Amino acid sequence: MKPTCCPCSFLGLLALVIAGKCTHSPEPDQRWMLPPGWVSLGRVDPEEELSLTFALKQQNLDRLSELVQAVSDPSSPRYGKYLTLEDVAELVQPSPLTLCTVQKWLLAAGARDCHSVTTQDFLTCWLSVRQAELLLPGAEFHRYVGGPAKTHIIRSPHPYQLPQALAPHVDFVAGLHRFPPLSSPRQRPEPQGVGPVGLHLGVTPSVLRQRYNLTARDVGSGTTNNSQACAQFLEQYFHNSDLTEFMRLFGSSFAHQASVARVVGKQGRGRAGIEASLDVEYLMSAGANISTWVYSSPGRHEAQEPFLQWLLLLSNESSLPHVHTVSYGDDEDSLSSVYIQRVNTEFMKAAARGLTLLFASGDTGAGCWSVSGRHKFRPSFPASSPYVTTVGGTSFKNPFLVTNEVVDYISGGGFSNVFPQPSYQEEAVAQFLKSSSHLPPSSYFNASGRAYPDVAALSDGYWVVSNMVPIPWVSGTSASTPVFGGILSLINEHRLLNGRPPLGFLNPRLYQQHGAGLFDVTHGCHESCLNEEVEGQGFCSGPGWDPVTGWGTPNFPALLKTLLNP
């Protein structure tokens, strides 16, 4: 969608831009440091073309929050009456003054080929590096290379400024500071020792189906418009040939779809990534025989942010899959507050439309960082957003047997330092804080913050096929997340067949029902700071909700019964 410009006065604004006076920093708390794994290749040619995305100020966010609560709360008369994309656009789209001011400012600076989204709150334009550095005083564009695929990106190591007149109209400019995380699933060594008869040699779809009580009949019907999706970033690609081989090896006992139904974005031709292979193979085997989309957002240009490009795609499609699983995260403290709040608003928009967004809780336990010489736990975002369902990780008590589950020590979890605790989880968190016998010192975490994860699934010892090679013992919450997502897609299938709306934003219902339909995980702790005070131990699981495995792992028949009606 191309933006439509309307007449408005911009001579004063243009004078400010030319004079370079009266500027402000949109992201003053954005911490810039070159992340491990990235190397600078020097400054970019001034005449090289850049694609930059401008996040425009939205309207009526309090009303949006109220509507999300209403459509997500089973006790509300509006439950399940989701908004369309057009409804959301009418609610949040920037004011005419904002649209005109920003467009005139960009056109005066020489920006071209500008495109918006349906909600009109993002504007992506092309400029030369020279024009961009004049437009955004302080910015200085460098090229960096990093990651296994030697990915090239363009970023500025210095903060940028905007004219003061733009302060009421622009949240931030994307593509200047944030580096894509380079994390990927871990391949752990095979556990030592041999179990008794009936052992398994790693987690496969049949092992998951046995543990979570899925029968061969628990697959999609193929008669609904049900669909699910996963997102891949930063040169992470799947290969259909890997999916075919995976299903040949591990999918013979249940009906499944032979290929991904739709790829949205650019699907590269390079080697498959373990992360992308894992997401697709386990989403399509847990949510078996359900139409599956893959959002491939490597960044169509080096200055784009792949995660933000995925959010833009959600703001520009009227018809979307009901369930989205994403294995992506970054430290809360590494991101500016304005960026985090704006991304959180994008999750609110998705929740209002009835989309279920599941994010991996991360693979560093409670995390750890040092603030003014004192250690604290380190929460992850988007896992800490109050508008997504966050998935932690578990292991089998006996790694060779389908047994009860215990905490996987890497399972991310904790308390946000940015978002206050949402009302839907206050009772559960208070109960945990009151009853836990292994609480870390209170100085390590913000007990009044949004607590996560919400649920969990097995995250240890998966088989994955990547580049036609079966790879054992792959681990991480990037495994548990598509598994839980696929199971929710099966529940959506039953709801749609019964004339019900899809589940939408799950958390208010999940907490109201006190984790009904889930196996409670009550043993184990996750990792944290390696110091004398906590000795590497973060939070520990216990009865009910906890910030390690949430409410627990899925027991499909019981969870279906709990979530089928209304």
Residue 279 bears catalytic tag: yes
Burial status of residue 501 (CB atoms within 10 A of its CB: 0-12, 13-18, 19 or more)? middle
> How does DSSP assign 427-445, residue by residue?
HHHHHHHHH-S-PPPGGGS
Distances (CA, A) of 361 to 273, 376, 456, 563: 20, 18, 9, 23
What are the binding residues for Ca(2+)?
A: 520-521, 544, 546
Residue 408 bears catalytic tag: no
Q: Which amino acid is at 199?
A: L
Cβ atoms within 10 A of the Cβ of 197, count?
4
Q: Any idea which residue has 């871990």 for tokens?
A: 186
Burial status of residue 195 (CB atoms within 10 A of its CB: 0-12, 13-18, 19 or more)? middle
> How does DSSP assign 469-522, residue by residue?
EEEEEEESHHHHHHHHHHHHHHHHHHHHHTTPPP--S-HHHHHHTTTTTEEPP-
524 within 8 A of 538, measured Cβ to Cβ:
no
Burial status of residue 118 (CB atoms within 10 A of its CB: 0-12, 13-18, 19 or more)? middle
340 within 8 A of 373, measured Cβ to Cβ:
no
233 CA to centre of own chain: 11
What are the binding residues?
A: 520-521, 544, 546
Q: Any idea which residue has 């019981």 for tokens?
A: 558
227 within 8 A of 290, measured Cβ to Cβ:
yes
The residue from 27, 235, 242, 279 that is catalytic is 279
Instruction: Annotate 395-418 with three-state secondary structure.
Output: EECCCCCCCCEEECCCCCCEEEEE
Structure tokens at 155: 């970023």
Task: Name which of 348, 279, 384 is nearest 121 in CA terms.
Answer: 348
Q: How far apart are CA 116 and CA 38, in angstroms?
A: 31
Look up residue 327 and give its DSSP letter.
Answer: -
Contacts of 11 (CB under 8 A, 6+ apart): none
Task: Name which of 479, 405, 390 is nearest 211 in CA terms.
Answer: 405
Q: How far apart are CA 141 and CA 344, in angstroms?
A: 27
- Cis ω for the linkage preceding 159 (within 30 of 0): no
**Strand intervals (E) in 102-161:** 112-116, 122-128, 142-146, 151-155
Cβ atoms within 10 A of the Cβ of 132, count?
30
The residue from 227, 395, 459, 478 that is catalytic is 478
Cβ atoms within 10 A of the Cβ of 78, count?
13
Residue 72 bears catalytic tag: no
The residue from 218, 275, 363, 408 that is catalytic is 275
Active site residues: 275, 279, 478
